[in-house]
Amino acid sequence: KMIKTLLASAVACTALAAPVVNAAPIEIKFAHVVAENTPKGKMAIRFEKLVEERLPGKVDVKVYPNSQLFGDNKVLEAMLLGDVQLAAPSLSKFQKYTKQLQVFDLPFLFEDMEAVERFQQSEVGQGLLKSVERKGLMGIGYIHNGMKQLSAYDPLKAPADAKGKKFRIQTSDILAAQFEQVGGIPLKKPFSEVFTLLQTKAVDGTENPWSNIYSKKFHEVQPYITESNHGLLDYMVVTSKEFWMGLPDDIRPVVEKSLKEAIAYGNEVAAEKTKADRQAIIDSGRSKVIAMTDAERQQWVEAMKPVWKQFEDEIGKDLIDAALAANQ
């Protein structure tokens, strides 16, 4: 009897102690839509590695690339419901949460990625990370992909070449307006559908940075790519305020530091991939890369620029001016 009681209490003790000793790790699901071999894909993997090295057994990061868990149209809602903890949607995909981030979509706004970096790191740029807080989200930082190029079945040299053509775009009214300005027909579609849309010719063309084109093989189904650098595709790394604030005080700073280091690494990858993937596309011979003269580029600038005025009130002129100021 005595032994039985002792045994029983030992079992009870173990059961009580178990949750403390073997507390389940905090799970961080990081969902994104691109391939692993991209700036964002590599950043996510680096984050997982850093956090798990620094917080062994305490935090478990699971990365879901290629829209495996959520597409970008669902991921932010899912985040607010607690079904995913981290994501880095393109800046073009926050329209439902804030109008301010739309500044990044204006065509021909930034001269190069250095200007983008200067703006993002400026006081105004850092302030924009907070623009989604009212909706329960928190921006942790920006990560680059790069400038977008125009791809299509037929060569796009002059803006008139886009007339009547269907273009897949991200869910952004600015991007819709941009293609409407050149007489194109914009269609908002998830990233996971782009290859099939192009392959089946359901759309004529699209816009994406070199690393997305290459990693998703869009160049194999788009015979022409115009090197237009007409707009930006960058990301905001986001989490939900509720999740972030709920992290224990000894965990949150480590997660944050790891995220920031992973972002810095992702930005190095972005710079490399912009060059290397562009070259790999040229070398593949599957798609002809069309260079633009300054005069040709100017035609596109003039055709697309009215979009700035169209959205000036929504975005705010001060914000547009602050972004422009980063060009020098």
Contact residues toward ligand LMR (CB under 6 A) are 33-34, 90, 145, 170, 191, 208, 212, 233
Q: Which is nearer to ligand LMR, 75 or 322 (CB)?
A: 75
Cα angle, residue 112 at apex, residues 108 and 116 outer, rounded to 5°: 90
Q: Rounded to whole angstroms, how far apart are CA atoms 86 and 247?
A: 13
Q: Which is nearer to ligand LMR, 151 or 208 (CB)?
A: 208
**Distance in Å, CB of 189 to ligand LMR, minimum:** 8
Coarse DSSP helix, strand, coil percentages of the chain, rounded to the nearest 5 percent: 50, 20, 30
**Distance in Å, CB of 162 to ligand LMR, minimum:** 18
Tokens representing 16 are 């009580």
- The residue to which tokens 């949607």 are assigned: 89
Task: Evaluate whether 327 touches 135 at the Cβ level (below 8 Å).
Answer: no
Q: Which is nearer to ligand LMR, 92 or 181 (CB)?
A: 92
**Distance in Å, CB of 38 to ligand LMR, minimum:** 7
Q: Which is nearer to ligand LMR, 47 or 322 (CB)?
A: 47
Q: Which is nearer to ligand LMR, 145 or 149 (CB)?
A: 145
Tokens representing 201 are 């010719």
3-state class (DSSP) for residue 168: strand
**Distance in Å, CB of 145 to ligand LMR, minimum:** 6
**Distance in Å, CB of 19 to ligand LMR, minimum:** 38
**Distance in Å, CB of 194 to ligand LMR, minimum:** 7
Task: Evaluate whether 219 touches 155 at the Cβ level (below 8 Å).
Answer: no
Q: Exposure pattern of 196-207 as b/e (b: 16+ CB <10 Å)?
A: ebbeeeebbbbb
DSSP code, position 134:
G
3-state class (DSSP) for residue 138: strand
DSSP code, position 66:
T
Q: Which is nearer to ligand LMR, 104 or 191 (CB)?
A: 191
Task: Evaluate whether 288 touches 223 at the Cβ level (below 8 Å).
Answer: yes
**Distance in Å, CB of 183 to ligand LMR, minimum:** 22
Cα angle, residue 194 at apex, residues 193 and 195 outer, rounded to 5°: 100
Q: Which is nearer to ligand LMR, 108 or 235 (CB)?
A: 235
